[in-house]
């Protein structure tokens, strides 16, 4: 009975496939890092806009307090204060998310660095 031998992959074919794999991994890592940079940039823009909006609401709240003690104004003031608290919470959450993304990006970059 004849024994079938498994076809062997030559060392050059193996090294070529390994090189392609490493090249693909490097390209994917770079693409991921670029997306992380875009995400961080977008989050920074969003945080700045929320900060501006928060400042606007604070200024409006101060102005409303100067206007008088009308019942409608007091209700509006309470709603604005609640909205301010919500915006502060959202801004804090976005900052934590940004920190998480930065940490993940830096750990990904350090993990993907070529060994010397």
Q: Cβ(61)–Cβ(102) under 8 Å? A: no
DSSP 37-101: HHHHHHHHHHHHHHHHHHHHHHHHHHHHHHH---HHHHHHHHHHHHHHHHHHHHHHHHHHHHHHH
Does position 116 have pLDDT exceeding 60, yes or no?
no
- Is the residue at 21 inside a domain? no
| 27 in any annotated domain | no
Q: What is the reported pLDDT for 38?
A: 92
- In a domain? residue 65: yes
Q: How many structural domains comprise the chain?
A: 1
Task: List pLDDT tens digits, range 3-59.
Answer: 555 555 567 778 888 889 999 999 999 999 999 999 999 998 998 998 898 888 888
Containing structural domain, residue 80: 51-106
pLDDT at residue 25, rounded to an integer: 92
Note the pLDDT tens digit of each residue in 57-113: 888 877 766 766 677 777 888 888 999 899 899 998 888 988 888 888 888 766 666
Asked whether residue 95 is domain-assigned, the answer is yes
């Amino acid at each position: 009975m004849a024994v079938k031998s498994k076809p062997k992959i030559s060392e050059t074919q193996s090294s070529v496939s390994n090189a392609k794999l490493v090249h693909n991994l490097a390209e994917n890592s770079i693409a991921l890092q670029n997306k992380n940079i875009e995400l961080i940039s977008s989050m920074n823009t969003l945080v700045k806009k929320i900060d501006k909006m928060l400042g606007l609401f604070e200024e409006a709240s101060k102005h409303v307090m100067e206007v008088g003690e009308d019942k409608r104004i007091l209700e509006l003031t309470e709603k604005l204060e609640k909205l301010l608290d919500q915006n502060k919470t959202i801004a804090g959450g976005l900052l934590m998310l940004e920190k998480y993304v930065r940490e993940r990006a830096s750990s990904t970059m350090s993990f993907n660095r070529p060994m010397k």
